[in-house]
Amino acid sequence: EDQVTQSPEALRLQEGESSSLNCSYTVSGLRGLFWYRQDPGKGPEFLFTLYSAGEEKEKERLKATLTKKESFLHITAPKPEDSATYLCAALRSNDYKLSFGAGTTVTVRA
């Protein structure tokens, strides 16, 4: 059965304290790995798509990387406005089912 597991569940950071979020997946035939950001009371907002192991994507203080078993979202020198829940999702190639992890809630203190 497909599974997407995110860790940690919650992460509290001091402003400027870099860290990484983990998304490990067991999906038969990965077609793509997606990262979203979700603010309280809002819908998920797309950040990145990664398609193959070794691929990296960057946006401001965020960098996403992909291996054959997991993806990492690195937050460099975070600011309070980076506080949000970060979701990852794995797209399966045979039927295009998108499986989501439960998310990591990041809180950045000034």
Partner 1 sequence: DAGITQSPRHKVTETGTPVTLRCHQTENHRYMYWYRQDPGHGLRLIHYSYGVKDTDKGEVSDGYSVSRSKTEDFLLTLESATSSQTSVYFCAISESRATDTQYFGPGTRLTVL
Binding site for partner 1 (CB under 8 A): 4, 31-32, 34, 36, 41-46, 49, 51, 87, 89, 91, 96-103
Closer residue to partner 1, CB minimum distance, 43 or 54:
43
Q: What minimum distance in Å lies between the beta carbon of 73 and partner 1?
A: 15
Give the Cα-Cα-Cα angle 7, 11, 15 (nearest 5 degrees).
140
The separation between CA 68 and the C-alpha centre of its own chain, rounded to angstroms, equals 15
Q: What minimum distance in Å lies between the beta carbon of 101 and partner 1?
A: 5
The burial class, CB within 10 Å (0-12 / 13-18 / 19+), for 32 is middle
Closer residue to partner 1, CB minimum distance, 4 or 106:
4
Within 13 A of 38's CA, how many CA atoms are on the CB side? 18
- Report the C-alpha gap between 39 and 18 in whole angstroms: 20
Q: What minimum distance in Å lies between the beta carbon of 8 and partner 1?
A: 14
Closer residue to partner 1, CB minimum distance, 36 or 75:
36
Closer residue to partner 1, CB minimum distance, 6 or 65:
6
